[in-house]
Amino acid sequence: GAAVAGVFTQNRFCAAPVQICRAHLAGDGGNAIRALVINTGNANAGTGEDGLARANKVCAALASQLGLKPEQVLPFSTGVIMETLPDDRIVAGLPAAIANLKADNWAEAAAGIMTTDTLPKAASRQVQIGGATVTVTGISKGAGMIKPNMATMLGYVATDARLAPGLLPALVKEAADLSFNRITIDGDTSTNDSFIFIASRQAAHAEITSLDSAEGRALREAVIAVSQQLAQAIVRDGEGATKFISVVVEGGKDEEECRKVAYAIGHSPLVKTAFFASDPNLGRILAAVGYAGIADLDQSLIELHLDDVHVVTRGGRRPEYREEDGQRVMKKSEITVRVGLGRGNASSTVWTCDFSHDYVTINADYRS
């Protein structure tokens, strides 16, 4: 049968469905999960015991209609926080949802889980494993409250690969760390973030028992590639976003310090608004590097590039740098910020976007 694993928000006030998902996955390691139910418009977060009861009611109703146990269902919610879950409406809609289930309804599912998203997000890859064609397909939603661990996002990736169930937790964690935990839009961490990986185990090849085998590596690469495509799609659809920015930090002592610097840049409202305005006020990037929390960072070793434009050398403005060149890059819809720390060989990449007037408008009007 299918095997399921997941990772969830690190927000300590996680939503009722996240609490239930964790409990249901812990019960049997995810080997008995047979159904997912997702609602949008209501996060069922900040709702206390009542929220748990309502989410459990939805799980029980779906289980009853599918001949399952309630603990074989994983619930997910996304939307407004601290509002009562309309569980009766969700339960009433279950028969129609079940009747319309089809194996190829990925596009409909991607559209159905949208909130402030402007377009559905889906990705798929095929890979040859043991003489069989294996498919990895996923959908996600999210456009705001995006900050790792994880983001305001729901993500679901499934494969028909015959993967040993015990390997799923490590693979879903690695895929999340290299994708959904590398994105930031506005620095807020949601109460509901969930990333689920499903292996139906139906493909006609021998079971993969190691992710380090040739077959395991092939599947791993496909799962990570699909997850990264879904994560990047969330950034590209960031609320009010007009630019997709890759922040690459190199030359660190370890990956963690590179990631800290990348997030300091990616989270900075001053940096993000400068990119929206195509304003080459790039001292804001240097300032963000300085407050990233790396105690012994040496400014005299810092290098900064915008795409192919060398802006900062040895911690100061490069004499040959011209603002017109910086502005030329900042007017692009896709930009790479590359920072060299000059203290090692580690690197890390984070994906972010700019801040526009529309971001404020969208969030000010969210409930109206």
Query: What are the Cα distances from residue 29, in Å, to 24, 92, 227, 255?
Result: 8, 30, 22, 30
Cα 341 from Cα 247, distance rounded (Å): 13
Q: At what angle do helices 283-290 and 269-276 cross, to 10 degrees?
A: 160
Q: Who contacts 144 (Cβ-Cβ below 8 Å, separation ≥6)?
A: 116, 152, 185, 186, 188, 238, 239, 359, 362, 363
Catalytic residue (one of 47, 152, 191, 313): 152
User: Is the backbone of residue 318 left (phi > 0), alpha (psi -120 to 50) or beta?
Assistant: beta
Examine the residue annotation and report whether 152 is marked as an active-site residue of this protein.
yes
Q: Read off the DSSP letter of residue 86.
A: -
57 φ/ψ angles, rounded to the nearest 5 degrees: -65, -40
Distances (CA, A) of 236 to 120, 171, 199, 239: 12, 25, 28, 9
Question: Residues 6 or more apart from 358 whose CB is under 8 A from it?
Answer: 239, 240
Asked whether 55 and 22 are in contact (CB, 8 A), the reply is no
How far lies 238's CA from each of 11, 162, 245, 281, in Å? 20, 35, 11, 23
User: Which tokens belong to 186?
Assistant: 């506005």
The answer to whether 151 touches 190, Cβ cutoff 8 Å, is yes
Residues with a catalytic annotation lie at 152
